[in-house]
Structure 1
């Protein structure tokens, strides 16, 4: 990492998809596991103490026990807030934020702060205690896009509560918990010098990092990323929208977000640290002096540990990350000891061999052997996997699929229009679409004919 040699230590193994890491005021790592466990980890000894096995958790793909906030003044305010998914007797789903009291290595006295519709995905679910002591909750749109622009709905929002569950008088809408809206699937929350930053999953394009303003509208589903299409310009003509600080296309699936202020790793000081799932890396995002712009983005540990879900930093500057290689959408990185919590720390130079390699791992020039493979990796592999096998029951396999090997017109229409959970990719140019579809048909067909630019243009005119 620049001039700082790093060490990486595994401090916990065989975890059930650790979703949230929090550095607690007791100098332990508090973490949730998607199946319903809440635990404390002593980073010095590796001892894990289970505080709660939450009952009634719905574990289905991205649902389960997700976000957690530990009150920073735990001795006087012994509260832990959990965000989890459940299902009622009538099969309707919900997300719920519950406050627990920490007492003698257990969590007791549950108090429901919030309950909102859960649906089948896009749960958001990060929670954090603000510097003013308020509880901030990031909620996903539930894959019901209209929720994000409705200030009546609690989905697709950042919400603000008092820690007893009441609504603060100074929220932007009287009697409403809504603090900001127009979000799709927010995955990270962190405060830096009183400013709130979040990460948000885009659809097929435009993952984002945002600076969250009181009463801010972040545009989804009418605006994705920066305003740069005719439809987006029409929307912002009548509706003020806050642009992201940074967006990514192809998408990276941003997840946990924290801030690094220590001198221990000078290359990271003053930067937001963003873990990514699809990107399999940590992005170090340098802020300008006023904190309202990202001026540099450096990518670390790409393709080293696999999917990275959550991140926290100790007061002495060590970075802790949680892998997510055994979640609902694995990408082939799973180690036999996954999922894990890793410690990343600065090595003392006097003990480092002169030939020690830095921890920044860049892709070799020969990793992508063709434009078709590059496009496939960027847009398709996170769901259908590099081997084309997909995820059973969720993302269909491409290997010898009739859709892939048959008449290309059907495949072209699907790519241009999308279907169900598959987004549309009409934003990709005709030439690149021809290249990627030809690659898919040749690799997974495997005797299929190429897809021509003319065939794509013909299907566009019919849509």
Structure 2
């Protein structure tokens, strides 16, 4: 069990960077084994990135474009556009992308998979997983096939990460769709709801919200998927809030997940495991979080949208409209319950959630990092001190957090390090095969914490890919 206590800031070793215009190089302000440059900027809400066997970058833009970016020059071209994409902002549109292991190998077809939002026949947005087959040069899409569709889609807590495992299965994260807060205060959180056999047979995927899915490349359910509550479905794990990143380390699957007002998480995913949300945020320690199901409140539509905000979760006051606020220890933990490996960050009850430095946007100063992606720095990577580490990107304070793994690569250990800090929002981090380059993608717009710890609305590098190369 690894709790990162923000109030103490112990073990959080930081380095900062000042970025410049595209093409310019710079050194980090504190000693780092990397030198960085802005590879390209001005991309339109870039979201996911994959590195092919030639070291080139495949990038998704939320508005529906798949880009091929030259990893040396930053020059890029549109390889494909989804005409039916629903662009709902940073969390809805074209999101996840993953390459087949034989992509550009010459052994077979050049195949990639993508996840994007589209509008169904009834006018409601859904998510679709598609298989794209490209020509021999991988410059043109020749065939598009639907793998899985009618999955949930919303503008908040979408999840959206898609990865192909070494087992040949596709893994996809779905968030809780913004349930139980703000505009969806009266929308029930389904992260603990499991599908019935009838729903699976009817391809009714409503219960897939707040889950990690695992499925064959044709969209069917693998025979070795876990049986949960008597049903085998696409569900691999459940009890998630907003899981935006997954990465394989060998056969082990790590995930990062955004918490509410505290307790972002890094998890080791196990088949059939329950990670506790919405009953537990971080650890079941009754600190800085209580759960109230507003959707079941009397006259829920009379509640203010801010009722699901951390203001109430940490106040300890009486729940409104005859609701009951549940402590984390009220949740019955079954044998399949799992705690996170690391939290960002654990604080005690009474923590000041209204820092005057973030008066207009108090959430920026909450004890979270707004984790957005996860990557692995390999055991044989070029930089010795970084080897066998998990990297996660943060949206709120523009940084890459590094966590060394143990010898078995199944748990984090030692100190937490923060690198490449800037006022930008880091959307995604990827590491090339030999660890000589780390690529970081930034949001086009949004709020973040500046280097002075105050609210910042100006991105240092908007819609950019930054590359950090080992010295």
What TM-score does the superposition give when structure 1 sets the normalisation length?
0.70
Tell me which stretches of 4 or more aligned residues in structure 1 moved more than 3 Å. Answer: 1-5, 88-91, 237-240, 327-331
- Please list, as runs of the form range in 1=range in 2, the aligned pairs for 1:412-431 lying within 5 A after superposition: none
- Please list, as runs of the form range in 1=range in 2, the aligned pairs for 1:146-225 lying within 5 A after superposition: 146-152=189-195, 153-173=207-227, 175-225=232-282
SS in 2 for 1:81: strand
Counterpart-to-counterpart distance in 2, 1:239 and 1:143: 28
Per the alignment, residue 430 of structure 1 pairs with none
2:101 to 57, 72, 95: 72
Residue 181 of structure 1 deviates from its aligned partner by 0.6
Per the alignment, residue 388 of structure 1 pairs with none
Residues 355-400 of structure 1: CA distance to partner in whole angstroms, max 9, x if unpaired?
Answer: xxxxxxxxxxxxxxxxxxxxxxxxxxxxxxxxxxxxxxxxxxxxxx
Residues 27-51 of structure 1: CA distance to partner in whole angstroms, max 9, x if unpaired?
Answer: 2111101111101112123331311
Residue 301 of structure 1 deviates from its aligned partner by 2.0
Counterpart-to-counterpart distance in 1, 2:423 and 2:52: 24
SS in 1 for 2:97: strand
**In the alignment, is residue 292 of structure 1 matched against residue 416 of structure 2?**
no
* Structure 1 gap ranges (5+): 348-463
Counterpart-to-counterpart distance in 2, 1:333 and 1:264: 34
Q: How many residues align?
A: 345
Residue 175 of structure 1 deviates from its aligned partner by 4.4
Counterpart-to-counterpart distance in 1, 2:431 and 2:119: 34
CA contact 2:425–2:446 (8 Å) conserved in 1 = no
Task: State which drifts further: 230-239 or 78-87.
Answer: 230-239
- Please list, as runs of the form range in 1=range in 2, the aligned pairs for 1:83-122 lying within 5 A after superposition: 83-88=115-120, 90-103=122-135, 104=137, 105-115=139-149, 116-122=151-157
2:67 to 39, 43, 56: 39
Residue 237 of structure 1 deviates from its aligned partner by 4.2
Counterpart-to-counterpart distance in 1, 2:432 and 2:155: 35
Counterpart-to-counterpart distance in 2, 1:132 and 1:182: 24
Per the alignment, residue 458 of structure 2 pairs with 333
With over 3 angstroms needed to count, the CA separation of the structure-2 counterparts of 1:133 and 1:338, relative to structure 1, is same
CA contact 1:17–1:327 (8 Å) conserved in 2 = no
Counterpart-to-counterpart distance in 2, 1:327 and 1:122: 16
With over 3 angstroms needed to count, the CA separation of the structure-2 counterparts of 1:322 and 1:119, relative to structure 1, is closer
Counterpart-to-counterpart distance in 2, 1:150 and 1:141: 11
With over 3 angstroms needed to count, the CA separation of the structure-2 counterparts of 1:328 and 1:154, relative to structure 1, is farther
CA contact 1:71–1:77 (8 Å) conserved in 2 = no
Counterpart-to-counterpart distance in 2, 1:219 and 1:254: 18
Bigger radius of gyration among the two: 1
Per the alignment, residue 130 of structure 1 pairs with 165
Per the alignment, residue 456 of structure 1 pairs with none
Per the alignment, residue 236 of structure 1 pairs with 332
* Structure 2 gap ranges (5+): 1-14, 16-29, 180-187, 196-206, 287-325, 346-366, 450-455
Residue 325 of structure 1 deviates from its aligned partner by 3.9
With over 3 angstroms needed to count, the CA separation of the structure-2 counterparts of 1:235 and 1:265, relative to structure 1, is same
Residue 64 of structure 1 deviates from its aligned partner by 1.2
With over 3 angstroms needed to count, the CA separation of the structure-2 counterparts of 1:289 and 1:333, relative to structure 1, is farther
What TM-score does the superposition give when structure 2 sets the normalisation length?
0.69
Larger helix proportion of the pair: 1
CA contact 1:257–1:272 (8 Å) conserved in 2 = yes
Per the alignment, residue 81 of structure 1 pairs with 113
With over 3 angstroms needed to count, the CA separation of the structure-2 counterparts of 1:237 and 1:164, relative to structure 1, is closer
Counterpart-to-counterpart distance in 1, 2:426 and 2:333: 38
Per the alignment, residue 260 of structure 1 pairs with 377
With over 3 angstroms needed to count, the CA separation of the structure-2 counterparts of 1:3 and 1:165, relative to structure 1, is same
1:273 to 391, 401, 415: 391
**In the alignment, is residue 56 of structure 1 matched against residue 181 of structure 2?**
no
CA contact 1:160–1:167 (8 Å) conserved in 2 = yes
CA contact 2:115–2:127 (8 Å) conserved in 1 = yes
CA contact 2:170–2:217 (8 Å) conserved in 1 = yes
Counterpart-to-counterpart distance in 1, 2:439 and 2:333: 43
